[in-house]
């Protein structure tokens, strides 16, 4: 799964501050076996690349609470 995050409702600094905790929490998800974040050099976006063991694991993650 690839997610592109644009900081529209939060500041770039806030996005930079919360990204490490998102990575740590998602990596602890039993269905997640790889998760990396990359910051664009062209704009303020962050790209997340998340790999799950199965479609069911991905769906379980998507149904979980994201704060």
Walk along the chain (67 residues) and give the pLDDT tens digit of each residue.
888 887 778 888 888 888 888 888 888 877 888 888 888 888 878 888 989 999 998 898 888 876 5
Mapping DSSP onto H, E and C, the string for the chain reads CEEEECCCCCCHHHHHHHHHHHHHHHHCCCCEEEEEEEECCCCCCEEEEEEECCHHHHHHHHHCCCC
- The predicted pLDDT at position 39 comes to 85
pLDDT score for 53: 92
Nearest 5°: phi and psi at 60? -60, -40
Q: Residue 26's pLDDT is what?
A: 82
């Amino acid at each position: 799964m690839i997610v592109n995050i644009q900081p529209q409702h939060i500041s770039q600094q806030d996005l930079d501050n919360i990204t490490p905790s998102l990575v740590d929490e998602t990596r602890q998800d039993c269905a997640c076996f790889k998760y990396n974040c990359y910051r664009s050099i062209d704009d303020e976006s962050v790209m997340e690349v998340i790999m799950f063991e199965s479609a069911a694991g991905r769906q379980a993650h998507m149904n979980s609470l994201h704060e």
